[in-house]
Structure 1
Amino acid sequence: MIAALPMYQRAENAAAHAVLWALIRDGLRVRGIEAPEALDVETDHMEVWGRPDLVLSQICNLPYRAVYRERVTLIGASDYGLKDCAPGYYYSYFVVPKDDPASRPEEAAGYPLDHNDGLSQSGWGAAQLWAAERGFAFPAGKATGAHSASLARLAEGRGRLAAIDAVTWRNLERWAPEQVAAVKIIGRTGASPGQSFITRAGEDPAPYSAAIAEAIGALPAEEAATLGLKGIVPLPASAYDLPLPPKPEASAA
C-alpha cells in the first residue's frame, strides 16, 4: 500500500507533510482503514495515482479529468484559503519577467507559455481555458517539470510567460524570494477545483474525508502555517466537468 502528498512537496515543508500524514494515518487506522507508516516521496506521482493499493494522495484536477476519473475514488478538494477564491478552489497567476512590457495577459497572447507539465491544470490547463474563453490559445513553450523551474526561467530571462499555481506562488514568496522579485504578476486565471484527495477505486470516501478533516484541524501551529492547508471540501462531481485543453505538442510555438 502507498500514500503520497506530492503536489506541494518541497524540502522546506517535507517535515510538515510528514506530521500531517501521521495524523491522517492514525485517523484512518482508527476507522479500520490500513495505512502505511510513512509517505512515499520517491515514486512518480502518475504511478502513485494508478496504484491499486493507493491509500491516499492529492491529484491535480486535469489528470483526474483526463486520465484517472474512473480509476480512483474522489474524496474532496484541498482548501488553501486563497484570497478571493471559493473554498476548495484555486487559480494561477500569469507571470512574466519584471521588465516585460505586458501588463495584462491579453498583451501576452502570443508569448510561448512555459509550463511545468502538459497535464497540469495550474501550469497549462487553466491558462488555456482562460485563453479559449477569449478566442485564442497560448503557444506552448518549454515543459520545465516544475513551477519553480518555470519561475527560474522567467527570472533568468529565458522564458516569457508562465502560469504559476497560487499556492505554489505563496510558497515561492517564502522560499525563493529572489526569483519572485525578478518577475511580475499580470493577471490570474479562473478558478477550478484545487488539489483533490483521492484513494483507490471502490472505497467509501466518507471515513477518509473525516480523517483528513480531523488531521488538518489537529495540526500544530507551526506545521499548519507551513502548509497553509485550511480544510477539505467535498465538491460536486460537476465541478470537474471542465473542457480539456489542447495538448502542448499541438500548440508549440
Structure 2
Amino acid sequence: MLGMYDMPATKDANDRFWKLIQGHLGFGPQYLTRDRDFWDVWLDPELLFAQTCGMPYRTRLHEQVKLVGTPDYALPHCPRGHYYSVLVARTKDGREMRELVSGTFAYNEGLSQSGWAAPITYLLDQNLKPEKLLETGAHALSAQAVVEGRADFASLDALTWALLTEHSNLGQTLREVAITPPTPALPYITAIGQDAACVATAVSAAINDLAASDRRLLHLKRLTQVTPAEYLAVPNPPKPKTLMARN
C-alpha cells in the first residue's frame, strides 16, 4: 500500500513504482492495495510493503513491524529523509499565526505527525493554542475547509502541499503562514516476518529505475535509513480532546 500520497495525479506512477519493486523482489502481489483500512494493512502479518506515518509508527507500530527505510523527497529546509508541516491560511486572510489561533484549526486526524503532532508542538512551543478544532479526515479536506471558510488555518505535510499546489488551484487560494521544524519523513515498513533488508534493496533499485517523469511526479529522490530511535525521539503533543480541555 502506498496510500499516503496516492492521489489521482500520482496513482499511475505509484503503480509503476510498485511494479518495479515487485520485479526486483521477484515476488509479491500484482497490484497495490487500495480497498482496505490503513491499520488493517499495516498490522497484517503478511504485509510486504507499505508506507505509514511517523506518529502511528512511534506510538503503535514500531514493535509490530520492521522499518524498511525512509524516502527522501529532497524538500527544502530539512535534511535527507525528513519533512515538515506547512501551516496554511487563505490567501486573502492576512492575519499572522497569533491571530489565526483565535479561530478554527483544521487537521486530518489526531494520530497524524504532519497534520496534528508537528503543528501542535510548534504552536505550544510559542505558547499558542487553537481556539477551536475541526477534524477532516484528510489533508486535502483540511485545505478545502480553509478555502471554504469552515476553518481559519490548517496543517499539511510539505509533500502533500507541493502536490496540491502542482495538481490543483489550492496554491492560489491558500498561502503559507509558517513551517514546523523537520522530523523524519513517512517510513516504509514491512511485517515482522519479512526480510526488511531485501525489501529495502528492491525499493532502492526501483527508485533508481523509475522514469525521470515519475520520479519528478512522486518527488522521489532516494531511499535513506532513518533509525527507529530517531522516530521515537519525536515528541507527542496532547491529544485533541486533552488539548481542548486545557484552560
Aligned position for 1:46: 39
Give SS of 1:7's match.
helix
| Distance change (3 Å), C-alpha of 1:157 and 1:74 | same
TM-score (norm 1): 0.91
Distance 1:111 1:168 in 2: 23
Q: Counterpart of 1:55 in 2: which secondary structure?
A: coil
Question: Take 2:196 and 2:132, find their aligned partners in 1: how far apart are those partners?
Answer: 37
Which residue number in structure 1 is paired with residue 190 of structure 2?
199
For 2:17, the equivalent position in structure 1 comes to 20
Residue type at the aligned position of 2:240: P
Q: Decide which of 113, 135, 139 is 1:121's aligned counterpart.
A: 113
Are positions 1:138 and 2:130 aligned together? yes
8 Å contact 2:103–2:151 — kept in the other structure?
no
Which of 151, 156, 162 in structure 1 is aligned with 2:154? 162
Higher mean C-alpha deviation, range 108-117 or range 45-54: 108-117
1:24-63 CA-partner distances (Å, limit 9, x unpaired): 011112xxxx411110111111211011110000010001
Aligned length: 244
Please state how far the C-alpha of 1:137 moved relative to its aligned partner: 3.6
Question: Match for 1:212 among 191, 196, 203?
Answer: 203
CA distance in 1 between partners of 2:193 and 2:81 (Å): 23
Unaligned runs of 5+ in 1: none
Paired letter, 1:58: Q
Residues 1:149 and 2:158 are matched in the alignment? no
CA contact (8 A) 1:155 1:180 kept: no
Deviation at 1:139, TM superposition (A): 4.7
In 1: Cα distance, 2:132 partner to 2:67 partner: 30
Q: Please provide the CA RMSD for this pair.
A: 1.6
Letter in 2 for 1:125: A
| 2-structure distance, mates of 1:182, 1:62 | 29
Contact 2:48–2:194 (CA under 8 A) maintained in structure 1? no
**Counterpart Cα distance in 2 of 1:204 and 1:11:** 31
Partner-residue secondary structure (3-state), 2:178: strand
Q: Which moved more, 1:198-207 or 1:16-25?
A: 198-207
User: CA offset at residue 136 of structure 1?
Assistant: 4.1
Per the TM alignment, residue 79 of structure 1 is displaced from its structure 2 partner at its CA by: 0.8
How many Å separate the matches in 2 of 1:83 and 1:60?
20
Aligned-pair CA distance for 1:160: 0.5
**Aligned counterpart, 2:64:** 71
Check conservation: 1:140, 1:249, Cα contact below 8 A: no
Q: Matched residues, percent identical? A: 33
Question: Contact between 2:62 and 2:228, CA under 8 Å: does it hold in 1?
Answer: no
1:58 aligns with 2:51: yes
How far the C-alpha of 1:132 sits from its partner, in A, is 2.8
- Separation of aligned partners in 1, 2:94 and 2:9: 34
Provide the secondary structure at the position in 1 that maps to 2:150: coil
Displacement of 1:110: 3.3
- Structure 1's 106 and 213: CA in aligned 2 closer, same or farther, altered over 3 A? farther
Cα drift, residue 140 of structure 1: 5.1
TM-score w.r.t. the length of structure 2 is: 0.93
Contact 1:23 1:215 in 2 (8 A): yes
